[in-house]
Amino acid sequence: MHLEYLVDLEYIKTAKEGNENMGMTMTQKILASHAGLKEVKAGQFIEADLDIVLANDITGPVAIKEFRKMGAKTVFDKNKVVLVPDHFTPNKDIKAAEQSKALREFAIEQNIENYFEVGEMGIEHVLLPEKGIVVAGDVIIGADSHTCTYGALGAFSTGIGSTDMAAGMARGKAWFKVPSAIKFELVGKPGKWVSGKDIILHIIGMIGVDGALYKSMEFMGSGLKHLSMDDRFTIVNMAIEAGAKNGIFIVDEKTEEYMKKHKNKNKAFKKKIKIYEPDQDAVYDETYVIDLSEIRPTVAFPHLPENTKTINEVGDIKIDQVVIGSCTNGRMEDMEIAAKILKGKKVAKNLRLIIIPGSQDVYLECIKNGYAEIFIKAGAVFSTPTCGPCLGGHMGILASGERAVATTNRNFVGRMGHVDSEIYLASPAVAAASAIAGKIVGPENA
């Protein structure tokens, strides 16, 4: 039988619901609700119901093997398991083809509603919000570390291993240790060319790659009104790079507008939305006030996302390749910014610029808006959606000694190719400007 969901959006305000002594964060409230408990506390172990269980072409086949090992016959809900082949697709080699085949055959066998084949897929963390599959109040696990992206919508989402993925597919439940939290009060208005990527790089540079270890990074404050949804997706996408269990934004009018816009994209999957607000006496381990007006375009140097410098501190660094895309910065605003800077310009001689939209919808909009023509005339490669070079998969592997500026999320040793290559993480604006200059520069110098 099909599980039926509400056809229309229903918003349920849950702050202070009849219990003045809860003192819970947004994340803790969501987990308590899904565990059937009135309250939870940091450090508590709970078993929670799952709204979405996600895997891709790398992690999915491993999870499927474990699913069969445990003797499971059918997934707990064919509408709540989501499979997206995006990492090595279109298939880069025979092994990638076999992995995608395993995912495809399982989707057919289990009659998985939300399986997205090449041609209709996108990078998973761009695709699911677009399709209205994830919404505020959900609990989502994904066998990919950047599953924390959906916190931009006011959901609890976190990455897990393939074995936990298998159990989630079979049972629709998962065990969690309730995280403590860090509060980020965003104030002020970002300056020109400062985006969500600069903000999260600034924060990671400030607290370090383990500064939020197994904690919830909770974002709120008056500065939110100046951040687009694409900015927010980028910020929580990289919460894992600070060691966080999850990142989450308080739901505001922009969030509600986004969910309303996308609620009919997946006609077989209508969602009941619940908005959780933190209690006034919610307990946070630390509170940081971030003045967005003081943040400058920021670059993370090799080989950690915390190794940040503002654009005026970079110096003269020649580069060989620029990648604009990924689950971090492959959305429409990212393409718009790149097109604005690249219009009428040429990529530096002997430099490779690879632009990868995050989904087929973004790809199509780039064509309709003339961005694809701008990119190609500038001398860029404009690719179908794929994770590709972000994880050193394909579509832009680095050779020994090469340097790349990338809008991706990690710059570890060997992440994008040879162990002697270097990756500099930056915003689409800095990346596009650097592609023109042939070295790392700010967008005002393009």
Which of 138, 89, 158 lies closest to 359, judged by CA? 89
369 closest CA partner among 332, 321, 421: 332
How many angstroms separate the CA atoms of 82 and 142, rounded?
A: 9
Using CB atoms within 10 Å of the CB of residue 313, give its burial: 0 to 12 exposed, 13 to 18 middle, 19+ buried: exposed
Token pair of 108, please? Answer: 């057919």
pLDDT for the residue 15: 40
CA distance 151 to 253: 15
**What's the pTM value of the predicted model, to 2 decimals?**
0.91
Enumerate helices (H) and strands (E) in the chain, giving the number of each: 13, 18
DSSP state of 263: T
Mean pLDDT by 10 residues, the chain (446 residues): 35 42 89 96 96 94 94 94 93 92 95 92 93 94 95 96 94 96 97 96 96 96 96 97 96 94 66 89 95 97 95 94 96 97 96 96 96 97 91 91 96 90 97 97 85
CA distances from 91 to 78, 117, 206, 284, 399 (A): 25, 12, 39, 45, 21
pLDDT for residue 10:
42
The reported pLDDT for the residue numbered 273 is 86
**Strands laid side by side in the 286-291 sheet:** 246-249, 215-220, 180-187, 286-291
- Which residue type does 363 have? Y
| pLDDT at site 445 | 76
Alpha-carbon distance values, 239 to 223, 232, 236, 306 (Å): 18, 11, 5, 12
Q: What is the pLDDT of residue 26?
A: 96
- The arrangement of strands across the sheet holding 321-324 comes to 308-310, 298-300, 422-425, 403-406, 321-324, 352-355, 381-382
Non-local (6+) Cβ contacts of 180 within 8 A are: 42, 43, 215, 216, 283, 284, 285
Which pLDDT belongs to residue 266? 59
pLDDT of residue 67: 95
Any residues with CB less than 8 A from the CB of 23 and at least 6 apart, and which? 279, 281, 282, 283
Question: What 8-state DSSP symbol labels residue 157?
Answer: E
pLDDT given for residue 152 in this prediction: 97
Query: CA 183 to CA 233: how far, in whole Å?
Result: 17
Domains of the chain as residue ranges with CATH: 26-291 (3.30.499.10), 300-440 (3.30.499.10)
